[in-house]
Amino acid sequence: METKFKKDDVVYERVNPSSKLVVGDFRDGLYYCRLQENFRRNFVFQERELRGPVIRKSTEGLVL
């Protein structure tokens, strides 16, 4: 099954984008993630609840 995010990708929750999450696994249509600052806390999300990093274009080039 093709997934949008791969293991170890940094993603953000759509409703709380201030926390960086790291994808740990993808099983049965669910992403198992953990906080980047605290690997002990695990969270489970569907793909529609997550987004990748926002890349904005500026006059000086790409800004991550």
Domain boundaries, the chain: 10-63
- pLDDT for res 4: 92
- Indicate the SS3 state at residue 47: helix
CA distances from 34 to 9, 16, 21, 56, 58 (A): 11, 14, 5, 25, 31
Q: What are phi and psi of 48, to 5 degrees?
A: -65, -15
For 28-52, write each residue's pLDDT tens digit.
999 999 999 888 889 999 999 999 9
Residue 9 burial by Cβ neighbours in a 10 Å radius (0-12, 13-18, 19+): middle
- pLDDT for res 2: 81
Tokens 């609840």, residue located: 49
Flag whether the pTM goes above 0.75.
yes
- pLDDT for res 11: 96
- pLDDT for res 48: 95
Residue 5 has pLDDT above 90, yes or no: yes
